[in-house]
């Protein structure tokens, strides 16, 4: 299946696109292949694209003053990989987005995206709903972070994203949970014993 068709199917979850709107996205989204360990965004660069993932997986992370990376989120098939803050402000990003598996993505430039919003209000609607859903997810994660132990957060993660837990190395999941790889290893061990 063509990538642009997969994107169209994605929009069917919200307000489906008509022919004119489909033609509009078909003419501005560009397909790119990304190899494992390649970066979609690096700290200091302005995030100039909205990126839709067709296949593969990326991680978004920040690096602290001790050069430690902290995974903010994983982004997989049918999800959007963008630093919203940098994209809209057009200022240098504080974040990295790196492929943890080889990927196929569709990208739209900043200007084309703003055009899409202006000419076809349906995209305002659809992206409003998309981001609202992401907001709810993120709020849930905050609640976990302030109320649950590392073990509970790990179980929650595995429950919410069972596919991801298998696809990713332990160290990446530990970073996402905000704990050390050593400790996550211990947690897994304890769970097996139970």
DSSP 3-state percent helix, strand, coil across the chain (nearest 5): 50, 25, 25
Residues 97, 42: Cα–Cα separation, whole Å = 7
| CB 43 to its own copies: min, Å | 13
64 binds, among DNA, its own copies, none (CB under 5 to 8 A by kind): its own copies
- Grouping H, G, I as helix, E, B as strand and the rest as coil, residue 16 is coil
91 binds, among DNA, its own copies, none (CB under 5 to 8 A by kind): none
| CB 174 to DNA: min, Å | 7
**Which residues, in sequence order, are bridge partners of residue 150?**
none
Residues, the chain, total? 194
| CB 166 to its own copies: min, Å | 21
147 HSE (CA, 13 A, CB side): 7
186 binds, among its own copies, DNA, none (CB under 5 to 8 A by kind): DNA
In degrees, to the nearest 5, what angle opens at C-alpha 30 toward C-alphas 116 and 23? 50
Q: Which residues bind its own copies (CB under 8 A)?
A: 62, 64, 68, 70-73, 84-85, 88, 117, 121, 124-125, 127-128, 131-132, 134-136, 138-139, 141-143, 145-147, 175-178
Residues 6, 97: Cα–Cα separation, whole Å = 22
Residues 155, 175: Cα–Cα separation, whole Å = 15
- Give the residue with the Cβ less far from its own copies, 9 or 143: 143
149 binds, among its own copies, DNA, none (CB under 5 to 8 A by kind): DNA
Q: Do 177 and 157 contact (CB within 8 A), yes or no?
A: yes
| CB 168 to DNA: min, Å | 8
Q: Which residues bind DNA (CB under 7 A)?
A: 149-151, 169-171, 178-186, 188-189
| CB 40 to DNA: min, Å | 19
């Amino acid at each position: 299946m063509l990538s642009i068709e997969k994107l169209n199917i994605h929009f069917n979850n919200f307000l489906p696109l008509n022919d004119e709107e489909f033609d509009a996205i078909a003419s501005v989204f560009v397909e790119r292949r990304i190899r494992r360990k390649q970066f979609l965004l690096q700290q200091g660069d302005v995030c100039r694209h909205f990126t839709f993932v067709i296949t593969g997986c990326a991680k978004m992370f920040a690096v602290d003053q001790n050069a430690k990376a902290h995974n903010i989120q994983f982004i997989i098939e049918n999800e959007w990989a963008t630093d919203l803050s940098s994209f809209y402000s057009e200022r240098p990003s504080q974040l990295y987005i790196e492929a943890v598996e080889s990927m196929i993505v569709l990208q739209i430039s900043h200007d084309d995206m703003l055009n899409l919003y202006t000419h076809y209000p349906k995209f305002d609607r659809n992206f409003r709903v998309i981001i609202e859903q992401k907001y709810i997810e993120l709020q849930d994660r905050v609640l976990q972070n302030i109320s649950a132990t590392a073990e509970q957060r790990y179980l929650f993660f595995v429950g919410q994203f069972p596919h991801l837990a298998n696809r990713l190395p332990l160290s990446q999941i530990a970073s996402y949970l905000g704990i050390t790889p050593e400790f996550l290893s211990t947690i897994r061990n304890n769970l097996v014993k139970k």
